[in-house]
Structure 1
Amino acid sequence: MYGFGYAQSINDYKLVKISCKGSVFVYSLKANSWREVGMFPYRILALDPGIQLNGAIHWVVSHSTDSQIIGAFDLVEEKFWDVSPPASVKNFYGIGVFGECLCILPDTDITSHNDFWIMKSYGIKESWTKVVITIPYFRMKPLGVFENHRALLEIDGKLVVYNFIDGTCTDLVIHGIPVGIEFEVETYIESLFSPYLRLALRADIRQS
């Protein structure tokens, strides 16, 4: 299991790897080296990549046979801590980022859902808020939030642009991907360089 993220306070990118024996290894781009930092303190529930937010990597985990929780690894302190889900949510199949907020997706193995939860204030359990949409789903993944209260969602194998004002949605068809073909979508940043650094480099090149 792995995760990749940026620690802003120390300006370093780090790759976190958890071995099959539970050892935790961290690669620092700034130091260009690997270090072993301890043991994974949770039971692994899925091999999905970790979700980066607020300088931490997050996974769906559990303590022994307890209910599921979110295990967070602080990229600066290089320590784990628990993020508790809402009291009413015992099981969830995935986590994500929705509008710069951590979100959890309820377990929908038996019946479809039309809701998910977002943590409006990071790390504060009482800030979990239910979001209801007009589309029932078995599997959903938030991909991005646009202006005018719209969001890009992957719902049951389809890309959907959803409007939170009037509850309408539009299927997003991608040329070259036939309808019904299974695919996977991820968001990404084009470069590790910040726009400000890139502009500064361009200015230096022009001056030279």
Structure 2
Amino acid sequence: MNTSGAEQERRLIADLIRDTGCRRRSGSLDKRISGLVCDSREAGPDMLFAALPGSTVDGHEYAAMAAAGGCTALLVERGREVDLNGLEGVTILESDNTRRDFGLMAAAFYGNPGRRLCLIGITGTNGKTTSTYLLEAILRESGANPGVIGTINYRFNGRETPASLTTPDAVHLQRLLKAMADGGVTHVIMEMSSHAIAQERLSGCEFEAVL
């Protein structure tokens, strides 16, 4: 399933951070960003790298690698210093909650696709996947065009992609939602893992209902 239709779009940094808690530490906000990443190995020209904290890996340790890979903007924790090994011209944004703001920026980059969809979240330890199939069938019978983001796969318009995670990371999630909205999907049923909620991957999504 190809969900990369927005990859060639470029967004001003100033527009991406408008509805976030990000502040400029240094550099220009007038640059256009070609994509967002939180893995320095995916860094490329004119991209923004988010230095997200992890349980075993700290993204701040890879900020210089991302900048060397072509990223022209970095998102870091407020007050956290980063060493760019002398690289200049990189815009540095800081936030009190980088995960939340990264999700909001991802939504803005893809045009806030969730606002064109009725988002339904499914939580809980057991029964989430079964619930998605039941809701999908009910919605389709009622005349809607549902999409599903779940443990087994991501599916819409008769196409399926095996799921790498129950809930994708913020960038892949927003890219997928955009593909669904562009494809005429009306409702999205989304399994919400506790891990995804804790990591704020759903930041930027406004749910009509959560079950």
Q: Normalised by the shorter chain, which TM-score bucket?
A: under 0.3
> Which structure shows the higher helix fraction?
2
* Greater length-normalized contact order (CA 8 Å, ≥ 6 residues apart): 2
Question: What TM-score results when the alignment is normalised by the length of structure 1?
Answer: 0.22
- TM-score, normalised by the number of residues in structure 2: 0.22
Larger Rg: 1
